[in-house]
């Protein structure tokens, strides 16, 4: 009599997560080692694909994102198997993962790309929403269509987009910092952008090429994070027709720490929920949007293992995207870059970095299997990000907000109301960061000046003189 234990099926490479980091990792591995067996385990039925990728300059990149059925990826890569449902647990000693339906899979090299989930002001409150994926964006839209007033809490990219996009509903924006958008901007840039909130929005010139984040069959379970233009095609309109009002308690800090929020002790009135701010003011509203960042999705992987976690609860990774557990890599929102950063780079949980980390993790995994040397990729030399806020093109480079520079820096600013805002951060006479809002056409020149660390002391304020063609100047 033999007890037959099914041997876990062994896949050489296993990637967890069908967001941009995971999918890019799969693509990279497949191109590095076309014969490799690769398994992608992901919670939802759809994956995220990068399309129309464009390298704008040495470090700046632009791309669109499409949500596609995972079968599309399998059709592209014959050695790829996509596995559902989600990973329930990981055993790094036996090199196995178990999925929610009880199946066990073995791996030689594993890359965790499980993303993050919204940090909520309070858990399990039906009036507090986070926006992360297609499902939660649709839930938000549904609630908004019946709402007369909402409160948006937070000051990052999502909050900025929401306050601009939501119409037909009064919006109270609770910001703990002194200026709006402080994740991306300083007070000057915020000042430049504020008039856009009051102004009429321009008609959209052409239908957006990017995906509409509505799928015919919404992916079940924890989906991928949304990306640029997530609100395109989703009507963000409240119950009030023809009425737009925004209240900006901009200089008012909201209740901090978050967990001290006490919804139940607030007055019972006509609104379904009330929020108390640290300035003592109470606002009633239909619901609260909690847009205060993400928490890395690490839970299924931690139990029984010994992962080193960073202060922000991400899986620590080294300059080869390796976690502290053998043969386990991580990339994207779930990880925290713990190598010694280039002086001009910082991690931000953004779309572009998810792609870059997934790509580099795939290269590292292949290099390790093939015993080839590999060096930290060039994209981690200089932080760069292109996005749109309030319909302005926004380019952020290097230490764009003088992050970590202390008092030892100088700022040069050029601003034309309604047109452009240019800020340069100089340290020791060298350019270390820039914020470019509007069609400035300065990104490539500034990127070069940052990468080559030229001493700019002699140019002084001339650097931003609009009558000088700066490109010719440094050619």
Residues forming the site for ligand FAD (CB under 6 A): 16-22, 41-44, 48, 86-87, 113-115, 131-132, 157-158, 222-228, 230, 297, 300, 332-333, 349-352, 354, 387
How far is 125 from 120, CA to CA, in rounded Å? 9
Q: Which is nearer to ligand FAD, 43 or 110 (CB)?
A: 43
CB of 446 to ligand FAD, least distance (A): 20
How far is 77 from 39, CA to CA, in rounded Å? 11
Angle at 240 between CA 239 and CA 243, to 5 degrees: 145
Q: Which is nearer to ligand FAD, 57 or 114 (CB)?
A: 114
Q: Which is nearer to ligand FAD, 59 or 445 (CB)?
A: 59
Distances in Å between the Cα of 204 and the Cα atoms of 21, 207, 232, 233 are: 30, 7, 10, 12
Q: Which is nearer to ligand FAD, 136 or 445 (CB)?
A: 136
Distances in Å between the Cα of 189 and the Cα atoms of 139, 151, 164, 431, 454 are: 32, 23, 16, 18, 26
CB of 387 to ligand FAD, least distance (A): 5
Give the strand pairing for 328-330 and 104-112: parallel
CB of 342 to ligand FAD, least distance (A): 19
CB of 329 to ligand FAD, least distance (A): 13
Neighbouring-strand partners of residue 275 = 283
Q: How many CA atoms lie within 13 A of 190 on its CB side?
A: 20
Judge contact between 121 and 288, C-beta under 8 A: yes
Q: Which is nearer to ligand FAD, 236 or 354 (CB)?
A: 354
Judge contact between 161 and 389, C-beta under 8 A: yes
Residues in the chain: 475
Q: Which is nearer to ligand FAD, 260 or 302 (CB)?
A: 302
Q: Which is nearer to ligand FAD, 105 or 274 (CB)?
A: 105
CB of 407 to ligand FAD, least distance (A): 30
CB of 255 to ligand FAD, least distance (A): 23
CB of 471 to ligand FAD, least distance (A): 27
């Amino acid at each position: 009599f033999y007890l037959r234990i099914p041997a876990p099926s062994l896949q050489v490479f296993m990637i967890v997560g069908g967001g941009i980091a995971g999918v890019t990792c799969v693509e990279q591995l497949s191109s590095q080692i076309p014969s490799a067996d690769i398994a992608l385990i992901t919670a939802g039925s759809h994956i995220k694909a990068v399309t129309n990728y464009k390298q704008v300059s040495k470090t700046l990149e632009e791309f669109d994102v499409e949500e596609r059925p995972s079968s599309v990826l399998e059709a592209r890569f014959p050695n790829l198997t996509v596995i559902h449902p989600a990973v329930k647990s990981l055993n790094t000693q036996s090199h196995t993962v178990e999925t929610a339906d009880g199946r066990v899979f073995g791996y030689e090299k594993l890359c965790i790309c499980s993303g993050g989930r919204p940090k909520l002001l309070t858990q399990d409150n039906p009036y507090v929403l986070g926006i992360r994926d297609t499902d939660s964006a649709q839930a938000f839209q549904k609630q908004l269509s019946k709402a007369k007033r909402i409160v948006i809490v937070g000051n990052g990219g999502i909050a900025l987009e929401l306050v601009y996009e939501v119409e037909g509903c009064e919006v109270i924006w609770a910001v703990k910092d002194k200026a709006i958008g402080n994740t991306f901007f300083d007070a000057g840039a915020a000042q430049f952008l504020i008039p856009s909130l009051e102004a009429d929005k321009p008609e959209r010139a052409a239908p957006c090429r990017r995906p509409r984040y509505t799928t015919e069959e919404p992916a079940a379970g924890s989906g991928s994070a949304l990306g640029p233009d997530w609100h395109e095609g989703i009507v963000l309109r409240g119950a009030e027709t023809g009425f737009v009002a925004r209240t900006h308690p901009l200089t008012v800090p909201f209740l901090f720490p978050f967990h001290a929020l006490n919804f139940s002790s607030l007055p019972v009135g006509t609104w379904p929920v009330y929020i108390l701010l640290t300035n003592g003011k109470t606002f009633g509203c239909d619901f609260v949007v909690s847009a205060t960042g993400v928490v890395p999705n690490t839970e299924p992987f931690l139990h029984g293992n010994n992962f080193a976690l960073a202060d922000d609860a991400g899986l620590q990774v080294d300059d080869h995207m390796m976690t502290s557990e053998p043969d386990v890599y991580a990339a994207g929102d779930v990880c925290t870059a713990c190598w010694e950063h280039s002086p001009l780079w910082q991690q931000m949980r953004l779309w572009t970095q998810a792609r870059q980390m997934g790509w580099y993790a795939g290269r590292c995994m292949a290099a390790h299997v093939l015993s080839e040397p590999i060096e930290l990729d060039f994209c981690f030399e200089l932080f760069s990000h292109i996005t749109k806020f309030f319909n302005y093109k926004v380019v952020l480079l290097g230490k764009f907000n003088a992050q970590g520079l202390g008092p030892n820096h100088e700022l040069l600013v050029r601003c034309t109301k309604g047109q452009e805002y240019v800020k340069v951060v100089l340290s020791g006479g060298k350019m270390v960061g820039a914020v470019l809002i509007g069609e400035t056409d300065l990104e490539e020149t500034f990127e070069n000046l940052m990468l080559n660390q030229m001493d700019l002391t002699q140019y002084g304020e001339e650097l931003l003189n609009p009558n000088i063609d700066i490109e010719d100047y440094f050619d």
